[in-house]
Structure 1
Amino acid sequence: MQASDNGGEAGEARSLWYLGDGRVELRAASGGDGEACVRSICSGVSRGTERLVLEGRVPESEWRRMRAPRQEGEFPGPVKYGYAAVGVVEEGPRELVGRRVFCLNPHEEAFRAPASALHPLPEGLPSRRATLAANMETALNALWDSGAGACDRIVVVGGGVVGLLVASLAARLPGAEVVVVDVEPGRRSVAERLGAGFASPGDAPRDADVVLHASASAAGLATALSCAGEEASVVEMSWHGSDDVAVPLGRAFHARRLKLISSQVGQVAPSRRPRWSSRRRLAAALELLAAEPRLDDLIDVEIPFEDASRDLPPRLAAGAPGLGIVLSYTSMREV
């Protein structure tokens, strides 16, 4: 049964569906499986990935790998998608009832999930900031992939949410010099509050030990390569969907013996994989978020869930203002 965007039947939970043609629709939730029932407080929108889902640009070769936990529908759409939900457990194991949890779950007002899929929030972590947990996992994984260490010169190209998260982690390395490079000068203040410097592409450092690219653009990747010092590593964090991206591998790329490394959060970084599970990594991401109140600056767009079909597509458009997007659910009010 499909609910209208104005609410559907009384008490009926709704889910957000991407139609794959630039539109979003709210539909009646199917309920789901699992011993725990969670009522959503808020959920984070992954701007880059969900833009591709919104526009139906997930390549067919990646349909299986791109499936989110408890996703319904199939790419290119319609599809119920999302993976950054925070809510309160209303039914389930006694030790979880009443607790706020993070869950890799699509955007919906309420859902059922296995207790093993729920991650209790650390004491003092606000629900809104907790929606960054999946992005923080991505940032942590990329930092591991980069091999960055104390006293390194580290450049992050792309000052979106993921880029600023990895910059905030890199800035905690003893003696590290971290610079965020972005075309949007308004992101300088956020980068500096997180302990990093800031530069426009034309003024970017050119002798970095490690470069991490998170701008999701060919121009940004070219800038990242130009920032790398001799035999330095460039970590590609962006995912471009079905788009082909020009990579400038001519000129001095080979003579400087640069390393171009892919990073993807689907698996724990090889350097940690023998000892770290995905659950341990997510728990670490939540603790990192709890320890850094300044990361609240990364969430600057809030959309009421009932308005998502109207307000979310323009916020996901390329070049739309803002950093992090959160959907808020009126059925829950956080104390």
Structure 2
Amino acid sequence: MTDKGVVTRDTAEARALWYTEKMQCEIKPAAAKRPQGGEVRVDTLFSGVSRGTEGLVFRGEVPQSEWQRMRAPFQTGDFPFPVKYGYAAVGTVREGDPDLAGQTVFSLYPHQSAFTLPTDACVPIPDGVSPERAVLAANMETAINAIWDGKPSPGDHICVVGGGVVGLLTAYVAGQLPGSTVTVIDTNPERAKTAHALGLSFALPQNAPRNQDIVFHASATAAGLSTALECAGDGTSIIEMSWYGTENVAVPLGADFHCRRLKLVSSQVGSIAVERQARWTYRRRLETALTLLKDPVLDCLISHRLAFADLPDRLPDLLNKASDVLLTLVVYDEKPC
């Protein structure tokens, strides 16, 4: 049974969320060792639940062929279960490297109340970015990678199919291009409010615009991919951002896919675009992602907030494919709701 107490900061013992078996998770004790040279101890303020990837982990849908490639940077345990998984933690440096002492930092760390990492694995949050909004950094990295892969230009008509966090961030970044017209396509009409807040157009699939200059697909559904292909103009690239896990997806390539010379291009945040690898490091990309989070309007992507101790009880609903959730902000040092 999960201890519902508030996280204790005064000891070296931390607590961490584990995905223990299919559709089950649990909070367990975890050691937060004292930092050595070149390390810092971080007390977590917030973490973010990645509904797409963590949903696949929770449901046991990570294919065996991807068990190594899909490891989070500081994952403990091995797929399928048990695993301590996650990659969006924001906290305050309490001990260790004096250059980071007292700073608020972002780390690609699972859901845990305190942890110790090498200094270079902790990126200071820039001025103008709130600690809550900073949990979006990993999702913003995915959006940056998609933009690199898609190469949109000023004045382009752009569609993003799938109005989840990653799709909305991709649309937001594309919308900063001068003269661009960006439309978010989603089956949920409630996404219109969020899209409009971000300065974007919105349409249901049946009203999706056609003849687009570039299309990003982020719905993780076969129907969404079909819509993306229909939106694409002749010779257009469809940037496939979805990861389907063990699910087989039917792609409608038997109609006009070939005669219209469409291109289906994969995008994956685990590697930097080939033409940039000589110049860009993962650290530079993450620092850039954090800088792009300065706009307060992005707070609208945080749709749910819950106490860390409530995760085992609430995650099944939050990770349900049918739930109307964008980003869930996990709050540490907060009593259960």
Q: Same fold (TM over 0.5)?
A: yes
TM-score by length of 1: 0.95
**Quick check: 2:6–2:334 contact (8 Å CA) kept in 1?**
no
Quote the Cα distance in structure 2 between the aligned partners of 1:194 and 1:111: 34
1:287 is aligned to 291
Amino acid at match of 2:31: S
Q: CA deviation at 1:7?
A: 4.2
Quote the Cα distance in structure 2 between the aligned partners of 1:331 and 1:191: 30
Give a deviation string over 1:73-103, Cα, whole Å, max 9, x none: 1111110000000000001111101000000
Q: CA deviation at 1:9?
A: 9.8
Give a deviation string over 1:255-310, Cα, whole Å, max 9, x none: 000000000001111232221111100000000002x1100000010110011110
2:235 counterpart of 1:231 = yes
Which aligned segments of 4 or more residues in structure 1 are displaced greater than 6 angstroms? Answer: none
1:109 pairs with one of 103, 106, 113: 113
Q: CA deviation at 1:5?
A: 2.9
TM-score by length of 2: 0.95
2:99 counterpart of 1:95 = yes
Q: CA deviation at 1:29?
A: 0.8
2:213 pairs with one of 209, 213, 217: 209
Comparing 315-324 and 108-117, the one that deviates more? 315-324
2:151 counterpart of 1:150 = no
1:139 is aligned to 143
Amino acid at match of 2:32: G
Give a deviation string over 1:230-266, Cα, whole Å, max 9, x none: 0000000010011111111111000000000000001
Q: CA deviation at 1:321?
A: 1.6
Gap regions ≥5 residues in structure 1: none
Quote the Cα distance in structure 2 between the aligned partners of 1:146 and 1:208: 13
2:282 pairs with one of 278, 283, 292: 278
Quote the Cα distance in structure 2 between the aligned partners of 1:46 and 1:179: 23
Matches within 5 A, 1:58-69: 58-69=62-73
**Quick check: 1:145–1:270 contact (8 Å CA) kept in 2?**
no
Give a deviation string over 1:2-22, Cα, whole Å, max 9, x none: x94334996431000012310
**Quick check: 2:32–2:41 contact (8 Å CA) kept in 1?**
no
2:83 counterpart of 1:48 = no
How many residues align? The count is 329
Amino acid at match of 2:139: N
Equivalent residue of 1:95, what SS? Answer: helix
Matches within 5 A, 1:170-189: 170-189=174-193
2:3 pairs with one of 2, 5, 10: 5
Comparing 64-73 and 214-223, the one that deviates more? 64-73
Gap regions ≥5 residues in structure 2: none
Quote the Cα distance in structure 2 between the aligned partners of 1:112 and 1:161: 28
Quote the Cα distance in structure 2 between the aligned partners of 1:8 and 1:213: 40
2:320 is aligned to 317
2:145 counterpart of 1:127 = no
Equivalent residue of 2:226, what SS? Answer: helix
**Quick check: 1:41–1:331 contact (8 Å CA) kept in 2?**
no
2:23 counterpart of 1:22 = yes
Quote the Cα distance in structure 1 between the aligned partners of 2:70 and 2:80: 11
Amino acid at match of 2:288: A
- Among all aligned residue pairs of Structure 1 and Structure 2, give the percentage whose two residues are the same amino acid: 53
